[in-house]
Structure 1
């Protein structure tokens, strides 16, 4: 049987390697072999398809800028992975955290000492002046030139990669789930070559959530109101009520349901006081965003609507970063489940 062309080509290549007869010097071949071995050892290059754009990393980023975006997902994920020393400027922070020491760790991070724009975020020229090699944003909003931000192309021109967190490509996190928190961890794990750390965090979170969900399986699902404390985000009295997004997945895993999920398809519901008063609310989750006393807000809310079962039973819990995209959703599931189903634990 004759040898086919691919086999001939392979044999010729092997002959060239053995005899140094194919035009490349021994130094060239040694260099190429060393580079290939190094790439295999370090895990680079890494290419991610992020919001339709290819982002290639040839090494672990060392000058990371974390944009605000009313998020703590990105900075919390980096800290959970032990990557805080890579951050040269961070604009994220809830002021509180369910993870001991995290709020203090976030506060200690450098901010870049820059003047923020009207959106409390980093304008284009200041961003470029930070000389980042990676910029993180929770949505594409942070890379929109109409908002005065550096675009992804502009960042690429100065040698910086960029990354938009899961479900942030269309600036609408209404479909976000806990799985997106895991995806963020995995992506950061790949980018920084710490996938082993990311997978350990994911496995622990999945185990914790599974145990909670098993305890509350078959229980009646109380109706829960989830909102940010002392924050106005809409035109009505209750514009900071969350109707969709990752909070609904957390509630479901904790044995509850969102009392206002049917009011809109958007992330936030813009509710009138009359609508809120007419809804049976069994429990309240208050999310603190730089609010030093969210419990006071929760008590005021329950006093305002004494007809709620939540008010009659004083059923509320205050949380912060664990209710958002990030590495600590299992803590929110545990705390919400214990509030809703105390006899199950």
Structure 2
């Protein structure tokens, strides 16, 4: 996931954004025969942010840019394509999918030192000799940030791909459907479309079953925010828009601060937070943070919240972002907020 921001600042502060696998196990760990060398189904042509991409065969040297995301690397792993990655800059340290964080940590990094914008510098990118570079947003291909542009990559024989809703670097409109689009398009590019469609179908089935069970019950109002690395109360990055709202809706909940901003995040004052009926917290965890401890601290600090009176909180990590494990977030949130329905 991403946002309009200095990428280095957000990536360093949050170590994230933006996932994992379907019902969501790592059953796709082996690369299929199709991806390994068969060329049936090619050429494949996609429209990506106004550019026509044509693939004659599956890419073999993939570079995954940081972009404060784990969506792209997790999608490749879910499709069994980890062996195609020659350099991965994405990492989160936590995952709802067993083994996913460890699998990401084991991937090659290419020995790259990020530039001041927090990602792979232009010359370093060329030195990796990619045939495909993935970026969560257009930010990763902007020359002013010290990155290789899409045109420059094309000149050295490399394709480039920007993830759904990343064309204008605005994830505020993102939904779970964008996670499916990313899976589907990676499936097409690497000729593993059957695997992608299976993961999508599993996720859709899982989510539909939960949504049907919670029905039209009262929708608790939820605050979604990051666990503070320092443990201090911080409402400067409370989610207002984006995929989290779609996940909450499917889980039978609503964002208590959806009207606080038109952008992905709202900067909520402590006074506003204190006077808002927060029925539940969803605290997002990452390496270096302690989401359960942070949630308990907030509930103690704001005892007037219904969430505090009922000790209602959920901790999640990568499944709340763009990527292949959104069904896990829906399941965990619905299970905590509507236990009698499931």
Name the TM-score, length of structure 2 as normaliser: 0.86
Q: Does 1:175 align with 2:173?
A: yes
1:336 corresponds to 2:333:
yes
- What residue is the counterpart of 2:129 in the other structure? 131
Residue in structure 2 matched with residue 320 of structure 1 by the alignment: 317
- Residue aligning to 1:295: 292
Q: How does 1:190-269 map to 2 (within 5 A)?
A: 190-230=188-228, 237-269=234-266
Report the 3-state secondary structure (helix = DSSP H, G, I; strand = E; otherwise coil) of the residue aligned with 2:117.
Answer: coil
Instruction: Give the match's secondary structure for 2:288.
Output: coil
Q: What is the match of residue 97 of structure 2?
A: 99
Aligned to 2:307: 310
Preserved contact between residue 64 and residue 133 of structure 1 (Cα < 8 Å) = yes
2 CA distance for matches of 1:62 and 1:96?
27
* 1:98-177 alignment, distance < 5 Å: 98-177=96-175
User: What displacement does 1:205 show?
Assistant: 0.3
Counterpart of 2:57 in structure 1 is 59
**1:302–1:119 CA distance, 2 compared to 1 (3 A):** farther
- Identify the residue that residue 280 of structure 1 maps to in structure 2: 277
Q: Find the partner of 2:86 among 88, 95, 100.
A: 88
SS in 2 for 1:88: strand
Q: CA deviation at 1:40?
A: 10
Q: Check whether the contact 2:65–2:133 (CA below 8 A) recurs between aligned residues.
A: yes
**What displacement does 1:41 show?**
5.6
CA shift for structure 1 position 300: 1.4
Deviations 1:209-238 (A, max 9, x none): 011001100210000001111169xxx942
Distance in 1 (alpha carbons) for counterparts of 2:275 and 2:171:
27
State which drifts further: 306-315 or 175-184.
Answer: 306-315
Distance in 2, matches of 1:95 and 1:83, equals 20
| 8 Å contact kept, 2:91–2:104 | yes
SS at match of 1:42: coil
**Relative to total residues, which structure has the larger helix share, 1 or 2?**
1
- Whole-Å separation in 2 of the counterparts to 1:128 and 1:259: 45
Tell me which stretches of 4 or more aligned residues in structure 1 moved more than 4 Å. none
Q: CA RMSD in A?
A: 1.6
Equivalenced residues, count: 304
Partners of 1:307 and 1:212 lie apart in 2 by 30
Q: CA deviation at 1:292?
A: 4.4
**Cα distance, 1:74 vs. partner?**
0.3
Q: Matches of 1:341 and 1:278 in 2, distance apart? A: 24
What CA distance in whole angstroms lies between the structure 1 residues aligned with 2:189 and 2:278?
43
Question: Match for 1:79 among 53, 77, 80?
Answer: 77
TM superposition score normalised by structure 1: 0.86
Structure whose alpha-carbon radius of gyration is higher:
1
